[in-house]
Structure 1
Amino acid sequence: MISGSYRDVTVGDLLTFLARALPRNDALVYVDGPRYTFAELEDESRRAARGLMALGVSSGERVVLWATNVPEWIVLQFALAKIGAILVTANTSLRSKEIDYLLRQSEAATLVTIGGFRDIDYIAELEKAGAFAGRIGRLERIIYIGAENTPPALIPFSEVCARAEQVSEAGLDARSRSVGVDDVINMQYTSGTTGFPKGVMLSSRNIVNNGEALGRQLAFTPADRLCLCVPLFHCFGCVIGVLGAYTHGACLCAVEAFDPSRVLETIDRERCTALYGVPTMFIAELEHPDFARYDLTSLRTGVMAGALCPEPLMRRVMTEMHMPEITIAYGMTESSPGITMTPRDCAIGQRSQTVGVVLPELEVKIVDPASGAERPAGERGELCCRGYNVMKGYYNDADATHAAIDADGWLHTGDEASIDAEGYVRITGRIKDLIIRGGENIAPKEIEDRLREHHAVADAYVYGVPDAFFGETVAAAVRANKQVSAEELIAFCADMLAKFKVPKYVRFVTEFPMTASGKIQKYKLRQEHERLLNS
């Protein structure tokens, strides 16, 4: 058994240490198989690592992984780390132009893919992008994960593992020893809620230490079993999930793609103690018609991230899902990702209205976004972070890196926030999301919170649209659960908000555009609204 946790080690070495300390403990399980102990997962990862070396994958090479939460994803996370290759995660919802951009911008030589996800045929999308015709930059090889017949020109993953015989165990160990904790080991592309994605470069120290800190806040031990249903391509999955659990010897009970019934079944059958998700995932689980049939009493803790959790939902998760120690985490890909987290025993109001306190060993300050001057407790400004978790930079984008990280090492998050006297951080909006109406700065969150208080509003998001007189004015997209008019909601806001904050437009929608990781794409709401206004 291990005592304590692991930090300041490479991602590749982490699994090796676990295989020695907890060889027979469950490491990675799926309800319908496979099931790996730490010793078995280490063997699988080493076999894949030696096969990749035999295939010619070099240290520092970018390897794009385009897949759902299949077992091979986690095997490859450690295999690539052992040989010093850089795992580049790809959003499972990408189309041909987007995967083409990612492959070119990352200068990847290797792509690992599955057949597709939901209505997206990955092979067809790659063909459109010219991947099989040699038209994508430095791409040399494509590896295929799947039980079905491997498409022509792709290398089956099983063949990669079979090539392990061509590389000795000693050869792999020598390669692993050359990998340092501060070498770039992971690249994740910003999720695309705004702008063109940039490749965030992260080291083992960045992500192992951050995972360890988050897992420590959850009090993870080798007795814990995490139901992991958030996507691995996102930091929430591969850092807070995989590394948050493994730095404390906990087991992963993985779900290949989010499905509320599959999640509930996994918790029930595997007696999971922890669950992660964005608020919409927890809502889907609670509202599942067979929710009461599943035994969730093994749960105690977990992480909700991606958006603030309304208090009524927090209460339901704590009671109906048996998660009294549920936490809220905040961060961004550029911060590995965690910056703050709510304590497991804090008040419900603090869990639903704040994103918690700053993680150990990190520095946070609130500054005036224009002057950079630090602001006192309680005042709003841009949240900046400094510490081991700050990214190495954006790949091949020095200008964007210098814009994000200042000369003193502070990462500028672009989030508007305040810190109260007790050290709890409140996120009040995005600096870029601020609506500037006739010179007045308006934070959308305040208006969103007011709209969500209306009994007929299931959810709402606020953004700015062009206005000939004020420059910008307030608009809201609302998903209603009862009959209500736009005029009623505008009047409801006017009762409590300053006149300049009251929405001029309210548009009803049945769903909100989201990234695959559950973040609302406000720019799409804005674009659609502008199109309607101009039609």
Structure 2
Amino acid sequence: MLLEPSALFPDMPLTLPRLIGWAAQQFGAKAAIREMGRDISYAQLNDLRRQAAKAFCAIDVKHGDRVSIWAPNMAEWIVAAAGLQSLGAILVPLNTRLQENEAADILRRAGVKVLLTTAEFEAAAPLVDKDLPNLIHRILLPSADLAAADEARSWQSFLSHGDLVDDAKFIATERAVNPHDSADMLFTSGTTGKAKGVLCSHEQNIRVFQSWSATVGLRSDDNYLIINPFFHSFGYKAGWLAAIICGATILPMAKFDKQSVMETIEREKVTMLPGAPSLYEMLLSDDSRHNYDLSSLRLGVTGAASVPVQLVRDMRDKLGFETVVTAYGLTESCGVVSICRPDDEAEIIASTSGRAIDGVELKCADAKTGVEVELGTEGEVWVRGYNVMQGYFDMPEATAEAITADGWLKTGDIGVMDAAGYLKITDRLKDMYIMNGENVYPAEIEKVLYGLAGVAQVAVIGVPKAPQGEVGMAFVVSKAGSNIDEAAVRDFCANQLAAYKVPFYVTFLDALPLNASGKVLKTELKATALKTVS
């Protein structure tokens, strides 16, 4: 039986600066971060975090100020985030795939005061002609392209400013950080519309990932390879924050590359490797994995609207994971709503997203009335509890639309709950399309098509067509050597689905467009579809 995190660490602090100070006492000389042959111990991480906080203090970063990081996964990302949060400033991570205009829009809307980035990102998107009145400081994190001319704005130069700050003043500022203070503002992925800034507190983040870590079984002896980007809750909160809570060793990976992943697993004896289903699918499809020793893999955590049963089996049987757990969450819930337990039956882990984390209520509701639907019936997933965001930054109307007066967060996802409280996500409410008056959920079709031999990845959307209103369009990525065609796809669906669910169009792609967290960008597919079928 797994102990609750409060039982494991009853005195764990509920602000990030105090958490890292506590971890330094608990884990001391143990490696907190290992990167490119360099180890940073938990004691050193705390010292670096304090030095960064004092440096932010020296450039007049105050409680409530917004500070943004636009960089790939690296040790300095963690140190910078922990440093700014130690002053009560709010972390605003930027998606590394954003274009210049998109990044500028978020910096402007969030009123960011300081931007930490790399020379490569600054060269690609200098932002010099953008209207960013609040942005005062730009600091360059270590990178291969850092030129001597940039030394004044370098990370090391920035850290040196901390030497000028009075210790007593800093300690008072650090101690004033409250568990209920906003710790971060993560922007939603924007797969279905304009991104919104989601505010979550120190206490929310730590409590949620205490529970998550205890549930999945993350341990202090784990070597945790974090491929998921730090700007996303999967890489940040379920990533390095969870690792610090448990005393695990963090192995940041700046850029995904299958061979590098397998080399790192073998070299560092990686035990923990979470990711979107696409991560495991790519590893499984690469026969060169047999050239590497992946036997250290112990724990995998994944989740999406559609996780094929066969993928979970292959993760265990072919990649060697002892434990595979599926989970469900969204940015507005600090990243977690429900999760399976490792001792659940294999079929439950494969076919559901688990049950609500402790202290959180979950229901499938009628989207219009909020009344809970009957068990086994599809409804919009609503969640209420300590994990629900503080709100959208500077968007009170959107916040009121998302959170009811009695505290229920309307997720926009469609799900089914069973009598034991286990949730199965069937689709996004916004992904649903209507053909001849019938509601069609793409995830159901996708799940069927994953059973067709030769299909590596698939995504289904609805596209306009008269007189039906909308029809299905399937985008398929074939496995190497496969010879499946449009007829094979439609015939396979016709044998298992009602006629109105069979895709009208089938298109083959070399790869699906994904955001940095591995989710399919259906907005891009819809744009492609409109050009194709118009």
Indicate the TM-score class for this superposition, using the shorter chain for normalisation: over 0.9
1:486 and 1:527 map into 2 onto residues whose CA distance is 21
- The 8 Å contact of residues 21 and 46 in structure 2, kept in 1 or not, is answered as yes
- The 8 Å contact of residues 261 and 285 in structure 1, kept in 2 or not, is answered as no
Match of 1:130 in 2: 129
Match of 1:102 among 89, 101, 106: 106
- The 8 Å contact of residues 228 and 275 in structure 1, kept in 2 or not, is answered as yes
Please say if 1:430 is aligned against 2:428.
Answer: yes
2:195 and 2:251 map into 1 onto residues whose CA distance is 30
- The 8 Å contact of residues 212 and 243 in structure 1, kept in 2 or not, is answered as no
Distance 1:306 1:174, change over 3 A: farther
Post-superposition Cα deviations, 1:48-88, rounded to whole Å, max 9, x if no partner, equal 11011101111111011000001100111211111111110
2:410 and 2:7 map into 1 onto residues whose CA distance is 36
Please say if 1:146 is aligned against 2:142.
Answer: yes
Deviates more, 1:500-509 or 1:267-276: 267-276
| Amino acid corresponding to residue 157 of structure 2 in structure 1 | E
- The 8 Å contact of residues 53 and 162 in structure 2, kept in 1 or not, is answered as yes
Please say if 1:12 is aligned against 2:17.
Answer: yes
User: What secondary structure is seen at the aligned counterpart in 2 of 1:297?
Assistant: coil
> Superposition pairs for residues 290-439 of structure 1, below 5 Å?
290-306=288-304, 308-439=306-437
1:497 and 1:321 map into 2 onto residues whose CA distance is 32
- The 8 Å contact of residues 308 and 352 in structure 1, kept in 2 or not, is answered as no
User: What secondary structure is seen at the aligned counterpart in 1 of 2:414?
Assistant: strand
How far off its partner does 1:403 sit?
0.8
- The 8 Å contact of residues 41 and 75 in structure 1, kept in 2 or not, is answered as yes
Equivalent residue pairs, number: 524
How far off its partner does 1:246 sit?
1.6
Match of 2:60 in 1: 56
1:423 and 1:7 map into 2 onto residues whose CA distance is 29
How far off its partner does 1:484 sit?
2.5
Please say if 1:21 is aligned against 2:21.
Answer: no
Match of 2:250 in 1: 252
- The 8 Å contact of residues 61 and 109 in structure 1, kept in 2 or not, is answered as yes
- The 8 Å contact of residues 12 and 22 in structure 2, kept in 1 or not, is answered as no
* Long gaps (5+) in structure 2: 1-5
Deviates more, 1:332-341 or 1:282-291: 282-291
1:278 and 1:450 map into 2 onto residues whose CA distance is 19
How far off its partner does 1:455 sit?
1.4
Post-superposition Cα deviations, 1:235-279, rounded to whole Å, max 9, x if no partner, equal 001101112222122221222222222222222222232111112
User: What secondary structure is seen at the aligned counterpart in 2 of 1:142?
Assistant: strand
Match of 1:279 in 2: 277
User: What secondary structure is seen at the aligned counterpart in 2 of 1:122?
Assistant: helix
User: What secondary structure is seen at the aligned counterpart in 2 of 1:493?
Assistant: helix
Distance 1:380 1:298, change over 3 A: same
Match of 1:86 in 2: 90
> Superposition pairs for residues 218-237 of structure 1, below 5 Å?
218-237=216-235
- The 8 Å contact of residues 456 and 478 in structure 2, kept in 1 or not, is answered as yes
- The 8 Å contact of residues 329 and 338 in structure 1, kept in 2 or not, is answered as yes
* Long gaps (5+) in structure 1: none
How far off its partner does 1:8 sit?
5.6
Match of 1:515 in 2: 515
Which TM-score applies when normalising by structure 1?
0.94
Distance 1:289 1:441, change over 3 A: closer
Match of 1:205 in 2: 203
- The 8 Å contact of residues 305 and 425 in structure 2, kept in 1 or not, is answered as no
Post-superposition Cα deviations, 1:459-503, rounded to whole Å, max 9, x if no partner, equal 221111112212222221112232223233222212221122121
1:3 and 1:423 map into 2 onto residues whose CA distance is 24
Match of 2:262 in 1: 264
Deviates more, 1:341-350 or 1:212-221: 341-350
> Superposition pairs for residues 444-455 of structure 1, below 5 Å?
444-455=442-453
Match of 1:476 among 433, 458, 474: 474
How far off its partner does 1:379 sit?
0.8
Match of 2:3 in 1: none
4+ runs of 1 displaced by more than 4 Å? 150-154
User: What secondary structure is seen at the aligned counterpart in 1 of 2:95?
Assistant: coil
- The 8 Å contact of residues 7 and 209 in structure 1, kept in 2 or not, is answered as no
Distance 1:419 1:154, change over 3 A: farther
Match of 1:528 in 2: 528
1:150 and 1:61 map into 2 onto residues whose CA distance is 30
- The 8 Å contact of residues 213 and 244 in structure 1, kept in 2 or not, is answered as no
1:453 and 1:525 map into 2 onto residues whose CA distance is 22
How far off its partner does 1:232 sit?
0.6
Distance 1:439 1:229, change over 3 A: same
How far off its partner does 1:154 sit?
6.9
User: What secondary structure is seen at the aligned counterpart in 1 of 2:192?
Assistant: coil
Deviates more, 1:38-47 or 1:322-331: 322-331
Distance 1:307 1:512, change over 3 A: same
User: What secondary structure is seen at the aligned counterpart in 1 of 2:125?
Assistant: helix
Match of 2:115 among 85, 107, 111: 111
- Give percent identity, aligned residues only: 34
Post-superposition Cα deviations, 1:369-402, rounded to whole Å, max 9, x if no partner, equal 1222111211110000111110011111111111
Match of 1:216 among 206, 214, 217: 214
1:381 and 1:7 map into 2 onto residues whose CA distance is 37
Deviates more, 1:351-360 or 1:248-257: 248-257
- The 8 Å contact of residues 302 and 325 in structure 1, kept in 2 or not, is answered as yes
Match of 2:38 in 1: 34
2:491 and 2:291 map into 1 onto residues whose CA distance is 42
1:526 and 1:293 map into 2 onto residues whose CA distance is 39
2:500 and 2:280 map into 1 onto residues whose CA distance is 34
1:267 and 1:153 map into 2 onto residues whose CA distance is 35
| Amino acid corresponding to residue 91 of structure 1 in structure 2 | N
User: What secondary structure is seen at the aligned counterpart in 1 of 2:471?
Assistant: strand
1:220 and 1:84 map into 2 onto residues whose CA distance is 28
1:257 and 1:25 map into 2 onto residues whose CA distance is 25
- The 8 Å contact of residues 227 and 254 in structure 1, kept in 2 or not, is answered as yes
> Superposition pairs for residues 456-471 of structure 1, below 5 Å?
456-471=454-469
How far off its partner does 1:340 sit?
0.9
| Amino acid corresponding to residue 384 of structure 1 in structure 2 | W
Match of 1:189 among 170, 187, 193: 187
| Amino acid corresponding to residue 130 of structure 1 in structure 2 | D
User: What secondary structure is seen at the aligned counterpart in 2 of 1:126?
Assistant: coil
- The 8 Å contact of residues 306 and 447 in structure 2, kept in 1 or not, is answered as no
Post-superposition Cα deviations, 1:431-462, rounded to whole Å, max 9, x if no partner, equal 11111122211111111122222213222211
1:28 and 1:293 map into 2 onto residues whose CA distance is 27
> Superposition pairs for residues 71-82 of structure 1, below 5 Å?
71-82=75-86
Which TM-score applies when normalising by structure 2?
0.94
- The 8 Å contact of residues 151 and 157 in structure 2, kept in 1 or not, is answered as no
Match of 1:66 in 2: 70
Distance 1:307 1:370, change over 3 A: closer
